[in-house]
Structures are given as structure tokens and as C-alpha cells.
Amino acid sequence: MANSWWKESVVYQIYPKSFQDSNNDGIGDIKGIISRLDYIKKLGTDVIWICPVYKSPMDDGGYDISDYFQIDEMFGTNEDLDELLEKAKQLDIKVLMDLVVNHTSDEHVWFQEALHNPASKYRDYYIFKEGIDGNPPNNWRSYFGGSAWEPVPNEENMFYLHAFTKKQPDLNWENEEVREEIYAMINYWLDKGLGGFRIDAILNIKKRLEYGIFESDGEDGLAFIGHWILNQPGIEVWLKEMRERTFKPHNSMTVAEADVPNERLDEYIGEDGYYSMVFDFSYTDIDVPETGEWFKDSQWTWTDMRTNIFTNQLVTQDKGWGALYLENHDQPRSINKYIPEEWINDYSKKMLATLFMLLRGTPFIYQGQELGMTNIEMASLEDFDDVATHSQYKRALEYGLAPEQALKAVNKRSRDNSRTPMQWNTQKNAGFSTSDNVWLKVNPNYPELNAEAQLTNQQSVFNYYRQLIELRKNSVYNDVLIYGQFLPVKDKNEHILLYERQLEDKIVLVILNVTATEQEYYVDEQYQQVLINNYEDILLDQSRKLRLRPFESIVLANYGGQL
């Protein structure tokens, strides 16, 4: 496969609402992002992905768009976005925006027309269906819980489809005019000089509509909608069409939120695939049961983690290129997910960074991850903003959990864990905003955990991420770390996770103790150089036996110097 700029990049994901507030209304904005570009540059990342900033009633954090061409005033103006593109360009930073085209907001003018003027062409922009005797056409469960069908006000026995919230009606991709509108909109933004897009929920655009009551897989009598709307036959025609008409002529970077089955990966990320790369969910959703009920505990082990990461690496490198991530705006903080609470410290944070940043693919760092930001503990349900958290809480109660148990469960995995304001310094609201009314609680640990403190501390998690990025981009190891093959390394000790990156005769070996107990590993003679390690020293004896302390990580190479 050919070299590309986006394979050599490291992406920084921004959740604008929580990143930096410039006008002190308690909500982050585009001018705030502009004021922090230097920080992003200092970290070494050279692409930013900004979550949706389009006009939106914010039912689902901006993933409910009411005008694709307008920046929402809470985030600023269209001119602010132009300025962001300009300033980012001066710093050699590319900008990706979010592309949400499976659905719009119900406040989008198309949907409003469809509702109030059923005879207009906009009726067919969405999926309206007659019910069965006043009941929905089927018992599909929307991804956020409850029926995926909403009765149309003032019409009898008529429903519209929404795979997410009822304020996010699904677009009808079968309608050619809808597709034309979407492609024109994508090109409008790409023509402004965007680097590309992160593409939301795209596997859902083709529906296999069936009437009836299907076997339920929950307490609610409903059935998982994904069986009928994920990656359905025929979707490939539109995905190809979209690429040919938009991304390809612009040579864009595209990363799709698409958990593609291995046997179909080739179509998506192969040489002439629909996208540059896709996000895999197998290791970030390792703690989510198949039903999507994340209030339920799911048991996972590091053996499962290894299997999922390694399988994805091997399959992906066989077909094309991958996107690497441990966090995003839909996930809780990785340190809380993967590391037992009593072992959350800078060592384990750096170990997780080492684990994912050196795999084969383009790394995505989510704002605050580079500081080791942690989950927040909300005292009551009202403290949560996220619509999915509220619906999970409801489902947890229906399932039979007591209110305190349900609150505990949603606290653990709420998407608001990663949406709390960015922790910049020790000032009011962690330097995010001077408002008395910040839209979501600031994590109270900000006096100890903030960017300002970490920038000046050479041993900080921030500086560790910076070094990892530097190794990948500007060191004698950069070609191996970017383009080298991924090779799993087997060791009889299950508690050590090992992998190699290899390019011709150059090899980099990543050694990770994923447990809280000491482990041993014999290092082969060929590895003479240490690239990076997360403790202050390395315990290697004459016989080349390495003692690995809790969550220790060491990266070695067979060239570059002496160990």
C-alpha cells in the first residue's frame, strides 16, 4: 500500500463544547479551539477532528443537525470556522469535521416540511410508514432505548423511523435527491480546505424494512435494530458513490465509525476502499454486553483484550490501514476502564499510551487523554447531560436495579465521563471558563491534574505522549513505527502483552506488563536500544532477565544503540 499523509499523522480529537470557552458562557467554542492550537502543536499532533459544531438543538451533543451549512451560535460563527481553518493551516494542522448523514435533527427544515406538508417532496426524505392498527410497524429498539418508531403528530397510524433519539429522524438514502443534497453539502465543506471527515453511524444508512413483531432480546419486548439496518446488502452502491463524488476528488482523509465484519474490510479500507480507515470497536467496547446494555457488568480479561487488538491489527494490515484509539466522546476514560482503581497512576496511564500508540495505524488521542484525565463521579442523575445515559438509567431500573445501583452503573460508563471540561490549569473551572454556569461539571481533581502542571513536568503523562509522538514522527524509528508490519509475539507468560513492529531488518519490540504483579521476561540479545519506558529505570540483569513492575512498559529496538 502507498504512503499517505494521513498514515503519518497523529490526530487530536476535540469535543468543542468542553474544550475551551472564549466568551465565558459556560460552553466551549471555536475561538476557544483557536486559542489552544499552540498546545495541540506542542503535543505534536497534526490533525484535529472536531465533533459537530453545526446548528443543532443539542439533543444528542450536536449529532442532531438542523442546518448542515451553519455553525451553531453557541460555538461561534461560520467566519470563526474559516479562521480556525486558516490558523490551523499556518501551523500545518489539518482539520477534520464530523459528518452526520444517517439522520438529521427533527428541527431540520426538511423534516419540518415533511411533517407539516406531507404532500411535499420532503416527505420522502425520511422514512414514514403506516403502523399496524395504531402500533408501530415493528418492534425495533432504537440504539438509545425505546421504540425506533415515533407516532407522527396529528396523523393516524403513521410513524417515522429514528435509529437514535426521536429527535434524530433517519434520512431516506433510497431517494436520489437526498443523496445529491448530501454530496453537495460534503463538497461545500471540502472545498473550504478541510482535511476530511470523521463519518458518523454510516453503516446504518441502508434499511431492510420488515413489518411484524420479532423475537425480543430484552425486558422491553423490543429487538436490536442493528439486525435490519447495519451493513445491509446494497449499502456498497451508496458508499462507493459518495466516495467517488466527494472524498476521492479531494484526496480527503476519511475515518468511518464502522464496525465492519472482517470479511468485508477489504471493500472499506482496501486499495480503492470507501474510506482511509475505520474505527474498530472490539477492544474499546470490550466491557459492553452484546445487547448494548452497558449498565450490566460484563466480564473481560486481558487475554480477550490481546485477542481483540491483535486480531484487528492482523486483519487490518492484510487489507489496508486502521485507526487506533482508546478514547472518544462516546467512551468513558480509558484509565478507568482498563486499570483497577487502586492502580490508576502515571505508570499505568503511560503503559496504556504505549500499548495503543505504537500499533500499526493512525493514532487518535481524545482531549484530556494526553493528561490522563479520569472519570467523574456524578452524585445524581440530574448531573448527567447525555441522552444515552438517561435512557440507560431507565433501562437499568426496568431491568430491576435499585436506583443507587443504576446510578453507580451509569457513572461507570456514561459518555459524560469524557465530556467534562478540559482541565487546563488550577483556576476557576480548571481554566475552561470563568462562567458560574458551566454546562457540565468540572472534574474536582483538576487542581492536581491539569495541562499547565504537566507541561513543565518532564515526567508527566503529557510529556510521555509527546515523546511517543516524537518517536513516531521524527526519530530514526519513524519508518518502522509508521509503516512496519505488526507481529504478535507469543510468550508463555499470559500477563505480558508483547508485539513487534518490523520493517526489513529493523525491529521494535513493545513489552507491557498488564497486571499489578511483578513479571519476568528474558530479552533477546538482538535488542540493544531502549526507545521509551515508563518507570525511572529498567531492571535488567546480566542474564538479560527483565523484571517488570506493575504496569511497566518498555520499548526496545534491534538498532540505534547499546542497551
Question: What part of residues 393-412 is at the interface with ligand NOJ (CB under 6 A)?
Answer: none
Q: At closest approach, how far in Å is the CB of 539 from ligand NOJ?
A: 42
Q: Does 257 bind ligand NOJ (CB under 6 A)?
A: yes
Q: Does 170 bind ligand NOJ (CB under 6 A)?
A: no
How far is residue 185 CA from its own chain's centroid?
23
Nearer to ligand NOJ, 164 or 247 (CB): 164
Nearer to ligand NOJ, 56 or 252 (CB): 56
CA distance 150 to 160: 5
Residue with cell 459518555: 415
CA angle (286 as vertex; 281, 289 as ends), nearest 5 = 100
Q: At closest approach, how far in Å is the CB of 204 from ligand NOJ?
A: 9
Catalytic residue among 257, 280, 327, 416: 257
Given CA atoms 196, 201, 203, 206 in this order, what sign does their dihedral have?
negative
Q: Does 285 bind ligand NOJ (CB under 6 A)?
A: no
Nearer to ligand NOJ, 100 or 451 (CB): 100
CA distance 537 to 154: 71
80, 330, 385, 500: residue in contact with ligand NOJ (rule CB under 6 A): 330
Residue with cell 472564549: 22
Q: Does 80 bind ligand NOJ (CB under 6 A)?
A: no
Q: At closest approach, how far in Å is the CB of 34 from ligand NOJ?
A: 24
201, 235, 548, 555: residue in contact with ligand NOJ (rule CB under 6 A): 201
Question: How many alpha carbons lie under 13 Å from residue 349 in its C-beta half-sphere?
Answer: 19
Cell matching residue 305:
483484550
Question: How many alpha carbons lie under 13 Å from residue 399 in its C-beta half-sphere?
Answer: 20
Q: At closest approach, how far in Å is the CB of 470 from ligand NOJ?
A: 30
Cell matching residue 400:
430491576
Helix (H) or strand (E) holding 95: strand 94-99
Q: Does 60 bind ligand NOJ (CB under 6 A)?
A: yes
Helix (H) or strand (E) holding 140: strand 140-141
Helix (H) or strand (E) holding 486: strand 485-488
Nearer to ligand NOJ, 142 or 519 (CB): 142
Outline where 44-94 has alpha helix (H): 78-90
Nearer to ligand NOJ, 306 or 333 (CB): 333
Pick the piece of the chain touching ligand NOJ (CB under 6 A) from 58-66, 105-113, 340-348, 477-485. Answer: 58-66
Pick the piece of the chain touching ligand NOJ (CB under 6 A) from 57-65, 308-316, 396-404, 438-446. Answer: 57-65
Based on the residue annotation, tell me whether 257 is a catalytic residue of this protein.
yes
What is the Cα Rg of the chain in Å? 24
Is the CB of residue 523 less than 8 Å from the CB of residue 544? yes
CA distance 248 to 240: 10
Q: Does 325 bind ligand NOJ (CB under 6 A)?
A: no
Outline where 475-548 has alpha helix (H): 478-483
Nearer to ligand NOJ, 4 or 291 (CB): 291
Residue closest to ligand NOJ (Cβ): 63
How far is residue 322 CA from its own chain's centroid?
13
Nearer to ligand NOJ, 100 or 409 (CB): 100
Count of CB atoms situated within 10 Å of the CB of 326: 22
Given CA atoms 341, 343, 346, 348 in this order, what sign does their dihedral have?
negative
Pick the piece of the chain touching ligand NOJ (CB under 6 A) from 59-67, 273-281, 447-455, 542-550. Answer: 59-67
Nearer to ligand NOJ, 75 or 462 (CB): 75
Q: Does 97 bind ligand NOJ (CB under 6 A)?
A: no
Q: Which amino acid is at 40?
A: I
49, 63, 125, 128: residue in contact with ligand NOJ (rule CB under 6 A): 63
Catalytic residue among 80, 200, 416, 552: 200
Nearer to ligand NOJ, 319 or 329 (CB): 329
Q: At closest approach, how far in Å is the CB of 338 from ligand NOJ?
A: 20
> What is the contact mask toward ligand NOJ in residues 130 to 169, using x (rule: CB under 6 A)?
----------------------------------x-----
40, 100, 199, 229: residue in contact with ligand NOJ (rule CB under 6 A): 100
User: CA-CA-CA-CA torsion for 4, 6, 10, 11, nearest 10 degrees?
Assistant: 180
Q: At closest approach, how far in Å is the CB of 33 from ligand NOJ?
A: 18
CA distance 103 to 200: 10
Based on the residue annotation, tell me whether 537 is a catalytic residue of this protein.
no
* Burial category of 300 from C-beta neighbours within 10 Å (exposed 0-12, middle 13-18, buried 19 and up): middle
How far is residue 411 CA from its own chain's centroid?
19
Residue with cell 495503543: 356
Q: At closest approach, how far in Å is the CB of 235 from ligand NOJ?
A: 17
Q: At closest approach, how far in Å is the CB of 171 from ligand NOJ?
A: 12
Residues assigned a catalytic role: 200, 257
Binding site for ligand NOJ (CB under 6 A): 60-61, 63, 100, 164, 200-201, 257, 329-330
